[in-house]
Structure 1
Amino acid sequence: MRAKAVRMYGTRDLRLEEFELPEIRDDEILAKIYSDSICMSTYKLVEQGKKHKRAPQNMDTHPVIVGHEFAGVIVKVGKKWQDQFQPGMRFAQQPALNYKGSLASPGYSYEWYGGDTTYCIFPHETMELGALMPFDGDSFYKASLGEPMSCCIGGYHAMYHTNKQNYDHEMGTKRGGNILIAGGCGPMGLGSVSYGLVCDYHPRRIVVTDVDDAKIERAKEVVSPEYAAEHGVELIYANTAKMDDPRQGLMDLTQGHGYDDVFVMVPIPSVCQLAGSVLAFDGCLNFFSGPTDKNFSASMNMYDLHYTSTHLMGTTGGNNDDLIEANQLAASGRLDPSVMITHVGGIDSIAETTLNLPKIKGGKKLAYTQFDMPMTAIEDFAKLGKSDPFFAKLDQCCRDHKGLWNPEAERMLFEHKGVKVEV
């Protein structure tokens, strides 16, 4: 099987190239990949190269396929799995394998297994761990975004609270409580806001902060306070840079109660410190954003940690249950991960986009691997449409969906590029 993929050979060394995939073994599965959303974690991988904890030391001679937020269709099934999987099945996958203590994951560690490719081979450990699962949604991109959304869901599930009567931990965000999502107008923040509106914990209020008015305005458009009110949640967007006293300003939004659960979405010491200072009694702070600096630190009030029962923690990734929940919510229409996406491109745009990811404004960059296309902002479709009738149609399609990427737009793009979906 001939494949085309973005492969990593070392620090900032990404190459789009064609190669021959080996024949699958009896305990493996061959899949055709249609979509992969580009994750900041991949940028961190290419910046660190062999120093990354998931990177193999022989990648200079056995390069790895990058990308781990991918979806597609099963093409061929090894004998061991033929009673569970069939060709033509659409799938989602959980890349956080942790197989027998190994840190190996698709997009980081495998020569034939990753998302930024036309075809890849699932190794036996993926199926043994139940990390390959059917997806019944109406598009590939929603299955790709199941992985980042599962990270948001895992963050909610991992929060915990206690009481003074016993040492039992009540897992999850506090029901009827106040949630702060600090630095939350990026893709993962908006994913977390969206889940907070439909999750079983059902908060009373969600406050989302940022220091960029343009990002706040877009966030209000895609996840509006009016939409949140329909779900019984008060949603407030706040620019802390415009507050005379950010701590007091945030506390005032809760009538002085503080925040029962806080997610810190950006690795900035001052944001961490502000977030810690507004925790309520028995509040839980989740440092959600992974820094690239191994020496990153921020000061916290240890007096409050002791006397007001505050909790500090961090989460990364989600588990199989989180991904299943994300897929079910997306397939049912209760949760729309489209709020994360601001750019769409083809396989030829992946390497450059990944290498420059922090410099490209907006949210998630979605790549389709079966064709070439420059990475293009959805907001630029209208301008491109003045000279290209297809982009004019694509722009109108997105406008019909609050300016968001959507299943109809995906189908239009596939048809325009001559991509036939395997069944």
Structure 2
Amino acid sequence: MKAKAVRLHGANDLRLDEFELPEIKEDEILVKVVSDSVCMSTYKCAILGVNHKRVHEDVADHPAIMGHEMAGDIVKVGAKHQDKFKPGMKFTLQPALNYKGTMWSPGYSYEFFGGDTTYCIIPAEVMELGCLLEYKGKAYYEASLAEPMSCSIGAFNAAYHTHMGVYKHEMGIKKDGKLAILAGAGPMGLGALTYALHRDIRPKMVVVADVNQERLDRAAHLFPVEEAAADGIELHFVNTGKMEDPAAGLREITGGIGFDDVFCYAPVEAVVELSSAVLGRDGCLNFFAGPTDKQFSARMNFYDVHYNSTHVMGTTGGNTDDMIESLRLTAENRIDPAVMVTHIGGLNAAAETTLNLPKIPGGKKLIYTHLNMPLVALADLREMGEKDDRYTALADIVDAHKGLWCPEAEEYLLAHFEQE
């Protein structure tokens, strides 16, 4: 069958191609992708090409479908998997496959498997690893965003703490501790925030620091400090760009003792060093944001490493359990992944969006792969409505939900905008 997809042909070479999908094998599954959110990791893949760890060397001859934060419908199931999966099921998946020691992943490594496409083929290893998940929710975008949410969930679960003289790590963020999210008012930081405030084991203090006041204002609007206080959490939004001494200012909020858990959401030397400087005793720093520079480095206070047991780690992606937790918390209305989304668009906008991602303000860009529409900021929907009443209807729905994308908006979009 024919498919349309944004594919990587080489560094900075993304193309919207139409091509023939091969017939599926008995251990494969054909799916229709409905939504895919654009990840900063996809941008890194697009600009690096074969220099990216996950991209195969012959990508010029076998271009890779971009995108890995996908959700959609199962169309056809190979004989080997018909006992578990059926046509018509909604699906999402955990893309961090870790298959036989490789870094293969949809959106980087496969010619016929990725999210920025109308249809694709899920290969055998995905089912073998238990990474294809049935999705029973209503909105496809929530399943797409379960993947980026799972990355932050994995980071929280991978944090660890120690006790002097006891050689056993206590996994996860510190219960009732002090937690900081630096460069934290962007899309992934907000995903981490909604999780921090509503997970089972929570901190008593959360500080979101950033240098972008507009982003901080939006975060404060979405997460009122009064609501956090009612749940027993002291929440602060801090512009470190306005502080004469950011490290001293952030430590002062903690009463001078520093943070138990710090998450660094930008691969910027100054942010990494600030993250190190605000750690308290036995503080755990997660360097979450992956750099493109293989020589990237920053200073860390090794006096504190020795005498205060501070430590640093990094995580990339989550695992299947993290995905399942994300879907469960979303279904229970405990977290809202939509806080990450600021733009929507069709497949025709995906390549340009990916290649220019750092230059486009706002948060997550959500692509509906069977639509032909420009990338539109949610804040601009009403202006677009001056020429097209459908955008006005969308703006009314979004405004009724604190300016956030929502299941009602997706339902209207899929019903009223042209499908391919």
- Following superposition, the deviation at residue 383 of structure 1 comes to 1.2
Distance in 1 between the 2:63 and 2:331 partners? 35
Question: What is aligned with 2:213?
Answer: 213
* Correspondence list, 1:151-300, <5 A: 151-300=151-300
Once the two structures are TM-superposed, the CA of residue 244 in structure 1 deviates from its matched residue by 2.1
Deviations 1:53-73 (A, max 9, x none): 111111111111010000000
Q: Does 1:18 align with 2:18?
A: yes
Aligned to 2:6: 6
Normalised by the length of structure 2, the TM-score is 0.99
CA displacement 1:249-293 (0-9 Å, x = unmatched): 111111112100000001111111111111110110000000111
Distance 1:245 1:273 in 2: 13
Tell me if structure 2 keeps the 8 A contact 1:142–1:330: yes
Following superposition, the deviation at residue 402 of structure 1 comes to 0.4
> Which one-letter code corresponds to 2:287 in the other structure?
F
Preserved CA contact (<8 Å) 1:260 1:282? yes
Tell me, in whole angstroms, the C-alpha distance in 1 between the residues paired with 2:343 and 2:230. Answer: 28
Q: SS of 2:238's equivalent?
A: strand
In structure 1, the partner of 2:310 is 310
* 1:77-110: CA deviation from partner (whole Å, max 9, x where unpaired): 0000000100111011000001111111100000
Taking the aligned partners of 1:147 and 1:196, their CA distance within structure 2 comes to: 16
TM-score, length basis structure 1? 0.98
**1:73·1:89 contact (CA, 8 Å) conserved in 2?**
yes
Q: Quick check: 1:341–1:365 contact (8 Å CA) kept in 2? A: yes
Q: Which amino acid aligns with 1:366?
A: L
Q: Where does residue 344 of structure 2 map in the other structure?
A: 344
Q: Is the 8 A contact 1:190 1:223 kept in 2?
A: no
Letter in 2 for 1:32: K
Superposed CA offset, 1:329-354 (max 9, x none): 11221111000000000000000000
DSSP 3-state at the match of 1:247: helix
> Which deviates more from structure 2 when the two are superposed, residues 111-120 or residues 195-204?
195-204
The separation in 1 between residues aligned to 2:82 and 2:35, in whole angstroms, is 24
Gaps of 5+ in 2: none
d(CA) in 2 for partners of 1:164, 1:299? 25
* Partner of residue 98, structure 1: 98
Deviation at 1:418, TM superposition (A): 4.5
Indicate if the aligned counterparts of 1:182 and 1:271 stay in contact, CA closer than 8 A. Answer: yes
CA distance in 2, matches of 1:86, 1:67: 24
Q: Secondary structure in 1 aligned to 2:167?
A: coil
SS of structure 2 residue aligned to 1:76: strand
Q: Deviations over 1:146-166 (max 9, x none)?
A: 000000000000000000141
Report the counterpart of residue 359 of structure 2 in structure 1: 359
Matched pairs, number: 420
Aligned residue in 2 for 1:50: 50
Unpaired segments ≥5 residues, structure 1 = none
Deviations 1:151-199 (A, max 9, x none): 0000000000000141110000000000010000001100001100111
Question: What is the letter of the counterpart of residue 49 of structure 1?
Answer: G
Separation in 1 of the partners of 2:258 and 2:319? 30
CA contact (8 A) 1:138 1:331 kept: no
SS in 2 for 1:167: strand
**2:416 aligned residue:** 416
Alignment of 1:361-380 (within 5 A): 361-380=361-380
2-structure distance, mates of 1:331, 1:138: 9
**Cα shift at 1:136:** 1.4
Mapped partners of 1:362, 1:27: distance in 2: 40
Q: Tell me by how many angstroms 1:236 deviates.
A: 0.5
Task: Note the C-alpha offset of 1:231.
Answer: 2.6
Give the aligned CA root-mean-square deviation in angstroms: 1.0
The 5 Å alignment of 1:9-88 reads 9-88=9-88
Q: SS where residue 292 of structure 2 aligns?
A: coil
Letter in 2 for 1:178: K
Q: Deviations over 1:282-318 (max 9, x none)?
A: 1100000001111110001111101100111011100
Report the alpha carbon displacement of residue 419 of structure 1 after superposing the two structures with TM: 4.3
C-alpha distance after superposition, 1:3-31 (max 9, x if no partner) = 11111110111110111100000000000
Q: 2:385 is aligned with what amino acid?
A: G
Do the aligned partners of 2:372 and 2:418 also contact (CA within 8 Å) in 1?
no
Question: Which amino acid in structure 1 is aligned with residue 393 of structure 2?
Answer: K
- How far does residue 371 in structure 1 lie from its aligned partner after superposition? 1.2
Moved over 4 A (4+): none
State the one-letter code of the partner of 1:222: L
Q: Which residue of 1 aligns with 2:112?
A: 112
1:174 partner amino acid: K
TM superposition shift of 1:229:
2.4
> Residue type of the partner of 1:270?
A
